[in-house]
Amino acid sequence: MSSRRSRISVLAVLLGLVWCVPASKAQTWTELSPTGSPPDPFFGPKPVHYDAVSNRLILFFPGNVGSGGYGNQVWILTNANGLGGPAAWTQLATTGTPPASNSFESVVYDGGTNRLVVYGGCQVGCSPARSQVFVLTNANGLGGPAVWSESTVTNPQARVGHSAVYDTASNRMIRFGGHFAFYGTDQNDTTFLSNANGLGGSSTWTSLSPASPPGIRDGHTATYDAATNRMTVYAGQRLISTCCPYVQSDYDDVWVLEHASGLGGTPAWTELNPAGGPPDARSGHSTVYDPVNNRIIVFGGSKWNQPAQTSDALGDVWELSHANGLGGVPVWTPILAAGVPPGPRTYQGAAFDAANQRMIVVGGRNDLDVPPTSNRVWILDLQETAIVDVAPAALWVGLKNSDDQGTRFDLRAQLYLNDTLLTEGTTRCVAGVTRNPAKAKEVMVSLGAVNQELVSGDILALVVSTRIGTNPDDTKCAGHNNAVGLRLHYDGVSRPSGFGAEITPDPAADFFLHRDGSAFFFDPVMPGSPTPQQADSSPVNFAGSNPWKEIGTWSRTLP
């Protein structure tokens, strides 16, 4: 075939779609079983960051040793996205003085310099709030010794339960909200820390002071789109007064801060008004940002029940499109993934592998579980398989009987999904067809556009048919009124039926049709020698309604 992306074998389309679809390509939960074992889990949030270059997850375990904590250890999970080999936990050997926070700090990661930045958090039993900033070099365990050092901050600011994101281009950490370790002290200020990764000199906190900010809160999440310099804040809680009873409330709102780093324009808050949903109000959830699709993925958290004075763990997963406020109307959509999900939990860690569309979830807490906390690891594969490009079909045709020389035929191809027609195409009045297989004629049949998701268990079927050639005005094309039938030829060399198709998430590829007895299949390697194959229609006749006669149907259930 001289132009693979413009010529596609109708016979091979179905088979190509089936075999291009790996098993379990629908959105699916999978639990990993890493070797090694990090410290016993703790009740607080688990700050995690994913290094896409090394496929490593960096997990910070806060905890003051004097209060039964873990000495602020750092653990590395290799092959963290579940691809490339078995996952394994390894404690990072560090030197220097680590942070002394006891949870509810913020942690950001600068992948360009391989530095982890830890700020604020609880002191022992969460009072007072801490203001220190610590930096860990070679945080993914590669490139040299991992060394902790405390940054010099000209105007320290204490904070607990806040959010923080990092802008690599400006080396600024942007903080929002949080509190001072007591009920009734929630904040809604937005500030940035200069020289956040410890390079470039001392650091300074600077208030951005954008107008009309979100309500005061903690326990929310913030994600950052570096390409547009926009920070998205979702949900959280307001701690109003302490026991007894506790008075607090949850949020379900979404806000976007443009010019979030303080550069490129005046920072400004905008509340989004998404369609769909919304998810239940919550705090202590995890949120990741997918820069490829401009969406956030929200998982779990807890919902406060004021009359019962309890927090109920959540286990739902939601997607918000246009999450940075650009490109269209944001829409909440629940993700109902296959597999065995982690179940309801709060304070889990989550990171996102954008290249492979995988969310990595670590740990979390559910008081109904035994034990209530864990360091288990799950992968949510968010890739969806869909037909997004089907090129025109190429059919090699001939005659069943030499007496039909000069007959003109119509060719039709129809692609079905679970008995529902997806697309079809017809080429009319095909001329110049002979009975000599060596002179088989290549005919192009254009198929309509397709954009259809595929899932395991779907049945695809392709029907190829012929009839006596018919003009657009329904009159017969020149030639006989009837014929013994049309013959479809294909083999690996002289008539290499094949196709090029784009079936996401796999790249566009060329494939060739093979046959082994009654088994039809395709392979990216062209057969090394001719293997003549043919499929015939029944006799065709222009009389009556000039009905289509089927040459063949090919179908298979997706694995």
Residue 469 confidence (pLDDT) above 50: yes
Three-state secondary structure of 259-303: CCCCCCCCCEEEECCCECCCCCCEECCEEEEECCCCEEEEEEEEE
pLDDT for 35 = 96
Beta bridge partners of 523: 512
Question: ∠ CA(189), CA(306), CA(41), 5° rounding?
Answer: 70
pLDDT for 390 = 66
Q: How far is CA 308 from CA 218, 245, 247, 544, in A?
A: 21, 10, 11, 76
Distance (Å, whole) CA 274 – CA 61: 35
Burial 478-506 (b: 16+ CB within 10 A, else e): ebbeebbbbbbbbbbeebbbbbbbbbbee
pLDDT digits (tens, 9 = 90+) for 425-459: 999 999 888 888 888 888 888 887 777 777 767 77
Q: In the numeric block, which tokens belong to residue 468? A: 């006596």
| Strands 106-110 and 230-241, sheet pairing | unpaired
The rounded radius of gyration (Å) of the Cα atoms in the chain is 31
Three-class SS state of 348: coil
Where does CATH 2.120.10.80 sit in the chain?
28-383
pTM above 0.85, yes or no: no
Q: Which residue has the tokens 């639990």?
A: 31
Nearest 10 degrees: Cα torsion 218, 224, 228, 234: -40
pLDDT for 526 = 59
Element (H, E) at 552: strand 549-557
pLDDT digits (tens, 9 = 90+) for 15-46: 333 333 333 345 889 999 999 988 777 777 88
- Give strand ranges (E) for 137-246: 146-150, 163-167, 172-178, 187-193, 205-207, 221-225, 230-241
Residue 507 confidence (pLDDT) above 70: no
Query: pLDDT band at residue 490, thresholds of 50, 70 and 90?
Result: low
Tell me which DSSP letter residue 354 carries: T
The whole-angstrom distance between residue 397's C-alpha and the CA centroid of its chain comes to 42
pLDDT digits (tens, 9 = 90+) for 354-375: 999 999 999 999 888 878 888 9
The whole-angstrom distance between residue 8's C-alpha and the CA centroid of its chain comes to 29
Query: What does pLDDT average to over the chain?
Result: 86
Tell me which DSSP letter residue 514 carries: E
Cβ–Cβ < 8 Å for 158, 205: no
- Give strand ranges (E) for 475-508: 482-483, 486-490, 498-504
Distance (Å, whole) CA 222 – CA 231: 7
* Bond from prior residue into 291 cis (ω within 30 degrees of 0): no
* Bond from prior residue into 128 cis (ω within 30 degrees of 0): yes
pLDDT for 456 = 66
Q: In the numeric block, which tokens belong to residue 147? A: 């060394």
Cβ–Cβ < 8 Å for 438, 455: no
Q: How far apart are the first and last CA of the chain?
A: 29
Three-class SS state of 12: helix
Longest dimension (CA), the chain: 98
Tell me the DSSP string of 303-324: EEETTTTEEEEEEEEEEEESTT
For range 464-479, the mean pLDDT = 89
pLDDT digits (tens, 9 = 90+) for 321-350: 999 999 999 999 999 888 999 999 999 999
pLDDT for 21 = 38
Q: How far is CA 201 from CA 152, 205, 300, 456, 463, in A?
A: 8, 13, 39, 55, 70
Q: In the numeric block, which tokens belong to residue 361? A: 């979830």
pLDDT: which is higher, 2 or 441: 441
Class of domain 28-383: mainly beta
Please report, as a single letter, which amino acid is at residue 337: A
Distance (Å, whole) CA 177 – CA 190: 7
For 105-119, 291-305, 414-428, which range has the lowest pLDDT when averaged over its residues? Answer: 414-428
pLDDT for 253 = 98
Which range, 196-200, 394-398, 487-491, 549-553, is most confident?
196-200
pLDDT for 485 = 85
For 26-35, 121-130, 141-150, 176-185, which range has the lowest pLDDT when averaged over its residues? Answer: 121-130
